[in-house]
Chain A
């Protein structure tokens, strides 16, 4: 089995003059929990729509499981786009039966899925009569129904109360523990930080960053430093306990600092040890701030 679940290459979607997604390239590997983070209108849902076959790309390609995608690849994916979509006049059970028949899979247990979603007692009620939280739970149960290889969730906690949010996040983490690949679109930084292993940040349809959540989104500060005597700098750094790790890159060192440490602390320490820096810049540190500013600009 291929390790690459999804690869997107130069995917672009224009709606008339609106550039919803612009030259998006990314790769999702097996068992990753991949967050697509961006403010509302940044192209998250359009991107999901394209890789799920309901929106035609203007340019670019994508592959599922290393193959050119067909409707059969979608049968291996469990997905919710935007709000939960069901036949409102049919029961919860009937709605799940329709999905199981579309997926043409014997590998499902509707009663069990409904029980897990806490909806077994309401299985004969029409979907129309469900509260928002129940609808969301049914949608997740539907996405997981035929044991997909990939779970795609679009703003899964939107409109839920705090308890519902906690439940959904627990569910994602439990699913991820089983090794299932998860792709999660969200405008909530906090949500992506808490649940995802990898992240791609979108703004106005363009990719800003992508990588491991730990690298790009955590609270630690990263600084880029250099000194005339690099060897001395390195040995001195090793003695500083507030440095969690560092790596060399183009004659400079990228240093990761512990959460309670600032660039000033580092500078003061090194100066105290007789190492004078010729270069010091904050590196990528402010993605979180940057993202929050992005959200602020929007609202």
Chain B
């Protein structure tokens, strides 16, 4: 594993495009998370002017709730990571280096593993980044800070974010492997994402929505509940935990896609 990761790191260490894309991701994510409170407050203030009921002040950064709030937001930036993964995979086909890697002495299984390890490391790094940003913002903005509010059961959302990122990046890997062209794969991913949103919006049974790939990945971190006052005796409440069935569906998707890539790679002439 270490040797395969070494090879992958060597491939990206002095690859400028990789670092530029990664920098975009970090800057975009950090900016969005740091500014999220400001933006939400503005929106609530606007809405309060016309709202018939008084709107509460929403504090995004207060721990432990911040774990879910920021994990949810961070999910929107995974497209940057998907582009990184797609670029790295498609390059190997465009420049035929996958062929030279095999000729030099990698087995096809090792080749697949090296890419899976890389995706795993990228997912872990993104999760750590989210963890650190949330921790910093949380510590600054939480009035009563205790170990219990930091290392809270809500930390499960950070794990949910990790699983979301990993399975989504496996999906990007899968598309890149099938299509082999960077531009084509990115456009297909964006196109598919919007098509799926249209289908989901089109009143299909909720059991189906659960298993649509993009939705399945996103459902790992649900939209955070908003502390609105009850309207007609009903409060607006969303799922406030990482669902076991949601996690299983995402893992299953990842497993099926990796299996297809494996079978394809075993059979293909490179």
Contacts and interface: CB of A to CB of B under 8 A. Distances in A.
Interface string A16-57: 000000000000000000000000000000000100111110
Contacts of B102: 52-54, 71, 74
A104 B267 contact: no
Contact of A87 (B95, B103, B104): B95
A163 B104 CA distance: 28
Given A54-B99, A87-B11, A89-B16, A70 B269 contact: no
B3 interface: yes
A56 B105 contact: no
A85 B105 contact: no
Contacts of B267: 56
B101 A102 contact: yes
Interface stretch (A92-100, A109-117, A164-172, A277-285): A92-100
A70 B106 CA distance: 9
Given A56-B267, A101-B7, A89 B101 contact: no
A56 B269 CA distance: 6
Interface string B221-239: 0000000000000000000
A242 to B, nearest CB: 48
Contacts of B96: 85
Nearest to A55: B269
Given A85-B96, A85-B97, A101-B7, A90 B14 contact: yes
Interface residues of A, number: 29
A87 B105 CA distance: 17
B95 A88 contact: yes
What is the interface residue range for chain B against chain A? Answer: 20 to 34
Interface string B104-132: 11110010000000000000000000000
A267 interface: no
A104 B3 contact: yes
B10 interface: yes
A214 to B, nearest CB: 31
Nearest to B109: A71
Interface of A: 49, 52-56, 70-72, 74-75, 77, 79, 81, 85-91, 94, 97-99, 101-104
9 contacts: A55-B269, A74-B104, A75-B104, A81-B99, A81-B103, A90-B11, A102-B106, A104-B3, A104-B105
Given A55-B270, A88-B95, A89-B16, 13 more contacts: A54-B269, A55-B269, A56-B269, A74-B103, A74-B104, A75-B104, A85-B96, A86-B100, A94-B10, A101-B10, A102-B105, A102-B106, A104-B105
